[in-house]
Every structure is written in structure tokens, then in C-alpha cells.
Amino acid sequence: MEKLITEAVKAGMTYAEYNSLFKRLVEAGRTTGESTTEKITYTKLNFSRSKRLDKTFFLTDIQAKQFRSLTQKQTWLVITEPWCGDGAQTLPLLHRIAETSPHIDLKIVLRDDYLDLMDAFLTNGSRSIPKLIILDEHMEVLGDWGPRSNAATQMVTDYKTTHGKIDAAFKEELQRWYNQDRGQAIIKELLALIPVIAKGALKEV
């Protein structure tokens, strides 16, 4: 596990590098991994949505202060893909948090390039993304989060129970929920992790 994590962090992209890749894919009409029409379409949509969040999402003063309370160096490693809708809604928020806290280094890797690492952080047996792995300065895991907030996860569960699977109609419904929530469900859950990861980091000192 330590080797997998160390290699991923070393090769991980910064947010700017990830967005540069994102932009090149959209301009070329391509995507990562298996290139299907659906994934190419979602990659284009996700790029637009993430750019909008980059411009419109900001932490409140209270939220920013809480994230700045972290005093130990950490790496926030995110496993995602440009075609992932939940990733597009999450990464801009994580970037804003990393901008706010001088102790958080945000790194991003593509799931299909790191399946062994992904398989160590499955969600109910599934390679669901995005997955955030919070690491201390020694690359020890302090905690993880993802692929989506509890509220969004409940929406997915309820829809699958009723309809059997996720379809285009639900994806539009989930997008409307994201627009209304404005990232607050994710931020609330990440703030709740602060005492846990801070305690874990202190144990390593």
C-alpha cells in the first residue's frame, strides 16, 4: 500500500495540470480510458461545470478558518476521471480548500491508471470516484472521503431501488441538486473530518 500511495503522489497532477489535460481532451473531442460517445459528452459537460465552480465557489470566512486550523502537512490525493460527474462537482471545492490551507497539497491521479490503488479504497465493492485519500507527511492514511456526499449517495441509492439503475434522467436530477446545494454538503462532511485527521497527524509527530 505504501508503495502504491508514494508512486501515485509522486506522479500526481496538480489542479492546474489536471485542468490542462481536461481542456486538451475537450478540444480534441476525446476523453480518458475507454472512449465512448457518452463519456466524451460527459467530459465536455464536466469541464464546463468545473470551470463554473472555479469562478463561483468560495468558502465562507468561518469555513476557511476551520480548514486553516490544520497545522500538520498533508497530501490530499484524489482518484478521479474527467468523465466523472461527481468528480467535476468535487475537485473545484478541494482546490479551493487547498488554496486556503498552506498545509494541504492537492494531487490528482486518474483511476484507470491506478487500479491497484483504487481497489484499496473501494466503496461497497465498487471502483466509485472521486475518492479523496488524506495522507500525512509520511504517506500514512489519515482518512478518506467519497465518492459523493451522504445526501447525494442517498439519492443514488433511492433511485436504484426504484428504477434498478442510474440513467440519464437521474444524472440530470443529481446535477440540479448539486446546483442547488452549491457544494455545502461536501464541505460540511470534510469539515467533520478535521478533528479526525488532525488527531491522526498529531499521533505521527
The domain limits of the chain are 2-147+194-204
- H or E element in which residue 141 lies: strand 141-145
How much is the pLDDT for 1?
84
- Cell 500514512 locates to 140
Inform me whether the pLDDT recorded for 61 exceeds 90. Answer: yes
Q: In this predicted model, what pLDDT tens digit does every residue of 106-161 receive, in sequence order?
A: 999 999 999 999 999 999 999 999 999 999 999 999 999 999 999 999 999 999 99
Inform me whether the pLDDT recorded for 204 exceeds 50. Answer: no
Inform me whether the pLDDT recorded for 205 exceeds 60. Answer: no
- Average pLDDT, integer, range 187-197: 90
Question: At 200, is the pLDDT very low, low, confident or very high (cuts 50, 70, 90)?
Answer: low
Q: Do the Cβ atoms of 150 and 185 come closer than 8 Å?
A: yes
CATH of domain 2-147+194-204: 3.40.30.10
The share of the chain scoring above pLDDT 90, in percent, equals 89
Question: At 73, is the pLDDT very low, low, confident or very high (cuts 50, 70, 90)?
Answer: very high
141: number of Cβ within 10 Å: 17
> How many alpha carbons fall within 13 Å on the CB side of residue 58?
4
Residue 124 corresponds to which cell in the numbers above? Answer: 461497497
How much is the pLDDT for 201?
53
- For every residue of 4-72, DSSP letters joined together read HHHHHHHHPBPHHHHHHHHHHHHHHT--SSS--HHHHHHHHHHHHHHHHHHHH----HHHHHHHHT--S
Question: At 199, is the pLDDT very low, low, confident or very high (cuts 50, 70, 90)?
Answer: low
The share of the chain scoring above pLDDT 70, in percent, equals 97
Q: What is the mean pLDDT of the chain?
A: 94
3-state secondary structure of 164: coil
